[in-house]
């Protein structure tokens, strides 16, 4: 064969020697990279491949003795891109992913410790959002909006599965139509379930209308299905786009929100409230963020992208003062209420972006010693990096949900004199390709200098 140009569909025996950023196995064939969906490092397999201009793609056809793997589920890969690996291998794959992003994109050579894994990689999600289609309630097929009917998911709570099935049975019994994305007709769009650590659940139907038929029967079906049900809510979403949540909500029965505990604090969670989906690992992540902040009780902390105040309030007990900034007014209202609910008096919250927050704090003569950021997956805008550097904090604690944008921003911070000192990956989303990282940047120190965050 032509070693420089393999034939389309040709079977080749390859050895997986790494992973790409999405968790696919990586092999090499005559100097060309082959991405193998479902491949595990150290595995040998026969791969039928598709030939691209510079890379090859394949799915393994037949495997030879390989490292321990997890059983493959009927709907793999779906959202569980790493379900085929042992959990130990998954954690190492994620460590490699973060380390590579920091080195390749961030220009930072840093010794990344093992990923802090979950005690259990299953049943950890406290929120489920099931899309609805005719005859199906489940999840979207990969890279499509085709809904696959899935009765249970091992990442979700068992309560979510029971409530999902109750809604499906109610729709079938009373001929309640599902929403059709293409025709923009029909009624039920999503089934949303939120649970707390006490085992209580909140169920919301997102609908293309102001109500649903047989509301009493719906409530009865859900209450019969789930003994821990705290409330049933109807959410109105009549916009023809991909947004899940609604513009308004009406309580059909019970409570319209749950309370949950996190880091020793109590939070009120309505349907639209942002809240981390894995509370056990969130405590690990926030605990590491507090540690890297090096708080002694004398510092002023600025928490950018503060959401409902979870990180800032966790730091408030070890800081002199905390300021939170968030552009979503409802989230700021929740943050203020959460501070009051927990008796925290040294935290204030601004409805502002990073630039506006900086200007308002400067006008009050406030200089933060520590700035904490927890941006969305797209990371920080370039002007936010400059704004933070201009405020000249001693330490920047960066909580990231995307290693690639973290690496990019580490490079940007380096251009303003802030060097990556430590980084720790935390597995917030077991069995998926996603991983959280908390990183510490300080001014004027090289990565080789000895540094210890204060207790």
Task: Supply the residues annotated as catalytic.
Answer: 401
Pick from 203, 202, 171: which is nearest to 187 by CA?
A: 171
Cα 88 from Cα 8, distance rounded (Å)? 35
Pick from 126, 134, 198, 85: which is nearest to 433 by CA?
A: 85
Q: Which helix (H) or strand (E) holds 291?
A: helix 279-293
Cα 171 from Cα 135, distance rounded (Å)? 9
What DSSP designation does 208 have? S
What DSSP designation does 299 have? -
Pick from 235, 240, 121, 224: which is nearest to 173 by CA?
A: 224
Cα 100 from Cα 114, distance rounded (Å)? 14
Burial of 215 (0-12, 13-18, 19+ CB in 10 A): middle
Report the interhelical angle of 215-225 vs 158-173 (nearest 10°). Answer: 150
Pick from 2, 15, 23, 8: which is nearest to 431 by CA?
A: 23
Sign of CA dihedral 424, 196, 377, 26: positive
């Amino acid at each position: 064969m032509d070693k420089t140009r393999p034939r389309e569909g040709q079977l080749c025996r390859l050895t997986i020697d790494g992973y790409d950023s999405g968790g696919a196995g990586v092999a090499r064939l005559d100097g060309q990279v082959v991405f193998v969906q479902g491949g595990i490092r150290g595995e040998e397999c026969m791969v039928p491949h598709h030939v691209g201009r510079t890379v090859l793609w394949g799915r393994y056809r037949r495997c030879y003795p390989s490292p321990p793997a997890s059983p493959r589920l009927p709907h793999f890969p779906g959202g569980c891109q790493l379900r085929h690996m042992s959990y130990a291998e998954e954690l190492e794959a994620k460590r490699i992913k973060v380390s590579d992003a920091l080195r390749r994109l961030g220009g930072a050579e840093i010794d990344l410790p093992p990923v802090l894994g979950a005690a259990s990689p299953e049943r950890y999600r406290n929120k489920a959002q099931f899309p609805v289609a005719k005859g199906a309630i489940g999840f979207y097929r990969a890279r499509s909006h085709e809904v696959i009917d899935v009765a249970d998911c091992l990442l979700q709570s068992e309560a979510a599965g029971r409530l999902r099935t109750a809604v499906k049975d109610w729709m079938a019994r009373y001929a309640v139509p599902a929403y059709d994305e293409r025709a923009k007709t029909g009624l039920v769009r999503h089934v949303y379930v939120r649970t707390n650590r006490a085992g209580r659940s909140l169920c919301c139907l997102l609908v293309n209308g102001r109500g649903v038929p047989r509301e009493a029967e719906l409530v009865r079906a859900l209450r019969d299905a789930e003994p821990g049900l705290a409330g049933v809510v109807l959410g109105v979403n009549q916009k023809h786009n991909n947004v899940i949540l609604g513009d308004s909500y009406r309580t059909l029965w019970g409570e319209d929100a749950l309370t949950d505990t996190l880091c020793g604090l109590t939070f009120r969670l309505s349907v639209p409230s942002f809240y981390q989906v894995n509370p056990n690992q969130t405590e690990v992540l926030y605990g590491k963020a507090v540690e890297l902040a090096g708080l002694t009780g004398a510092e002023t902390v600025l928490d950018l992208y503060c959401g409902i105040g979870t990180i800032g309030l966790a730091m408030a007990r070890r800081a002199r003062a905390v300021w939170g900034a968030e552009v979503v007014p409802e989230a700021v209202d929740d943050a203020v209420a959460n501070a009051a609910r927990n008796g925290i008096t040294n935290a204030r919250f601004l409805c502002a972006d990073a630039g506006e927050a900086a200007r308002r704090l400067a006008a009050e003569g406030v200089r933060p010693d520590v700035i904490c950021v927890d941006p969305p997956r797209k990371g920080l805008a370039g002007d936010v990096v400059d704004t933070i550097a201009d405020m000249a904090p001693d330490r920047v604690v960066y909580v990231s949900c995307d290693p690639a944008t973290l690496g990019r921003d580490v490079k940007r911070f380096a251009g303003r004199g802030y060097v990556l000192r430590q980084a720790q990956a935390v597995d917030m989303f077991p069995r998926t390709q996603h991983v959280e990282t908390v990183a510490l940047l300080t001014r004027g120190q090289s990565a080789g200098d000895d540094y210890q965050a204060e207790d």
